[in-house]
Structure formats: C-alpha cells, structure tokens
Amino acid sequence: MAGRVTKNRGYAVYLIPGVLASLGVIVVPLVMTVYYSFTKWTGVGDPRWVGLENYTRLFEDSLFWQSFGNIGLLVIAMAVVPTLLGLVLAAVLFDYVAKHFGDRWAGLFRSGYYLPQVLPVAVTGIVWSWILHPSYGALNQILNTVGLEGLAKNWLGDENYALYSVMGVMIWFQLGYPIVMFMSGLSRIDPSLYEAADLDGATWWQRFRKITVHMIRPEFYVVLVTTTIAALKIFAQVFVLTKGGPANSTMVPSYFAYENYFEKARVGYGSAISTVLTVLIVILAFLFLRLQHRSEELR
C-alpha cells in the first residue's frame, strides 16, 4: 500500500499559485512599506534612509493623535453601539416579532435593517452628504419645515459637529450586520431552553440575559472584532463625507496616510502611519482571539 504512505504528499504544488500571488501582492508590498517608513521619499528618485525619524515625528504630531482619538469615537459608533443595539433588536425580532407577528415580519425587518450594508460605501456617503448638506440638504429642510430652524446645522461643515454626524452615519451603516449575525446565531438555540425558562416563569429580560446573550457568544466576539477592525480601517465614508475636515476634525489614520502618500508626496511619513495602524490592528485581532478562546474554554 504505497498509496497510504504518500497519501498526504503531492498536495504542496496546489499551494504554489497562492504563495506566489501572496508574495507579490501582500508580502513584498508589506515589507516595502515598512522599509519606506524608515526613509524620506517623495515617490521619485531614491528613498533616503532616516532611521526612526518618521516615527519620532509621528508621535509628536498632534494630527496623528487626533486621528487615532477620532478612531476611538468611531469604534463606539461602528462597533459598540451597533453590537449592543443589534443584540437587543435581533432578540426582539427573533423571539417576539417572529412569534407574535410571524417569520415574514421578522424577515422583512431584518432585510430592511441590513440594506445599508449591501450598498457601496461610497454611495451611502453620497446619500448622506446630500441629506446633511447645509443649504439644500434634506435634514435641514425638514427641520425648517417643522419649525425647528434652531436645530438646523452645517452638519458636516462645522468642526464641532462633523465627527458626530459621521458617527451617526456609521451607526446607520453598521446596524444591520450584527442583527443578521445574531439572528443566525439565535436560530441555533434549542427551543426547549426557552420553553424551560418559560415554565420557570422567567421574564423576557431574564431570558434575554441568561439564554440569548450566553448562547450567541461566538457571534458576539466575531461581530465585535470585525466591526472594530472595520472602524480602524474606515476610509471611503470619510473621503466622501468630509475628506478629514473641517479643520481636521474628522481625520482618521487611513485618510491621513492617503493624504501623505498622494497629496503631500511624503511617502515615508505615510508609510509610518500605515505601519502603526497595521501593528495596532494585528495586536487587537490577536487579543480578541485570545479572549474568545478563553471564554470558550470557560464554557
């Protein structure tokens, strides 16, 4: 039975295209960016080695800190709020709407809430930049019509409000994802668990906390980590809505890097920003994985 011995040999060739492609598109560019981050380079001519200069400048750059501070708020808008709100909404849809009004209604709500997720991010940005436009935007016109002129604002153009406006748009954009994920997780739960809780006279809230939240922990972690990383990477919405302005009030690391690469021709500096962002994302992802692993062991 020579076949037995060599059973798992000969598969390595199937990895060759994938490995070559990954080298060319991911590994080599990644290494090059890290190298650029130690140089001064405008994109033409040869990069000049400057050691850690980009990094020391970066950590003294208030704009860099501001862009990461803004990300902190965007994590709240893109990860924390949608996850918590999505959890409650998924439970209500699955457990209340589906039972009292039928699955069709639950499905309808789910699809409607999920809709923003399937649209191109740049397009949703256009939709909102129209709604929030100070003069011809729908929101201000509605406020004027109902007599609340005082509340009308330059939503994206006023540095005091721009970031909050972007946060609001991001909550709208993200909410559907946790709802769909959690509802699919809920469908895994054995209905007898709920029946047992009903027999014991548990209230809806008790059932929600003790069964629902507990059972969909795997989805909970997946949603939290993917949405947090999405927040760290946010680019298209900021590009379309505010371009990081006004007065850098909505600056985020990815746009900050883009600006340095392609508008200021400071490739070394842009590379340093991207490298820091990458390190942060990878660390966060592994922390989450550890956390998830541990919580699975506890169960």
Hey, which residues between 167 and 196 contact another protein (CB under 8 A)?
A: 172, 175-176, 180-181, 184-185
Pick the binder of another protein from 64, 128, 155, 269 (CB under 8 A). Answer: 128
> In terms of CB distance, is 52 or 142 closer to another protein?
142
Residues in 195-234 at the binding interface with another protein, rule: CB under 8 A:
198, 201, 203-205, 218-219, 222, 229, 232-233
- Provide the minimum distance between the beta carbon of 285 and another protein in the complex, in angstroms, as a whole number: 5
- Provide the minimum distance between the beta carbon of 140 and another protein in the complex, in angstroms, as a whole number: 9
* CA 17-22-25 angle, 5° bins: 120
User: How many angstroms separate the Cα of 246 from the Cα of each of 3, 156, 204, 216, 296?
Assistant: 68, 8, 46, 41, 45
Residues in 61-120 at the binding interface with another protein, rule: CB under 8 A:
89, 92-93, 96-97, 99-101, 109, 111-113, 115-116, 118-120
3 binds another protein (CB under 8 A): yes
Residue 131 CB partners (closer than 8 Å, separation 6+): 137, 138, 139
CB 78 within 8 A of CB 231: yes
- How far is residue 216's CA from residue 235's CA, in Å, rounded to a whole number? 30
50 binds another protein (CB under 8 A): no
* Nearest Cα to Cα of residue 163 among 155, 171, 153, 151: 155
Phi, psi of 245 (to 5 degrees): -95, -165
> In terms of CB distance, is 78 or 89 closer to another protein?
89
244 binds another protein (CB under 8 A): no
Pick the binder of another protein from 32, 52, 196, 287 (CB under 8 A). Answer: 32
Pick the binder of another protein from 63, 121, 193, 213 (CB under 8 A). Answer: 121
- Provide the minimum distance between the beta carbon of 205 and another protein in the complex, in angstroms, as a whole number: 7
247 binds another protein (CB under 8 A): no
5 binds another protein (CB under 8 A): no
- Provide the minimum distance between the beta carbon of 142 and another protein in the complex, in angstroms, as a whole number: 6
Q: Is 123 exposed, middle or buried (0-12, 13-18, 19+ CB in 10 A)?
A: exposed
CA dihedral for 144, 146, 148, 154, sign (positive or negative) = negative
> Encoding tokens for residue 182?
């959690």
Which range binds another protein by CB under 8 A, 49-57, 64-72, 73-81, 135-143?
135-143
- Provide the minimum distance between the beta carbon of 59 and another protein in the complex, in angstroms, as a whole number: 18
Identify any residues that bridge with 48 across adjacent strands, giving them in sequence order.
Answer: 40
58 binds another protein (CB under 8 A): no
Pick the binder of another protein from 36, 68, 94, 155 (CB under 8 A). Answer: 36
- Provide the minimum distance between the beta carbon of 123 and another protein in the complex, in angstroms, as a whole number: 4
Which range binds another protein by CB under 8 A, 13-21, 56-64, 66-74, 291-299?
13-21
292 binds another protein (CB under 8 A): no
DSSP characters over 27-75 = IHHHHHHHHHTTEE--SSS--EE-TTHHHHHHHH-HHHHHHHHHHHHHH
User: How many angstroms separate the Cα of 73 from the Cα of each of 68, 90, 153, 260?
Assistant: 9, 24, 21, 23
CA gyration radius, the chain: 24
> In terms of CB distance, is 84 or 122 closer to another protein?
122
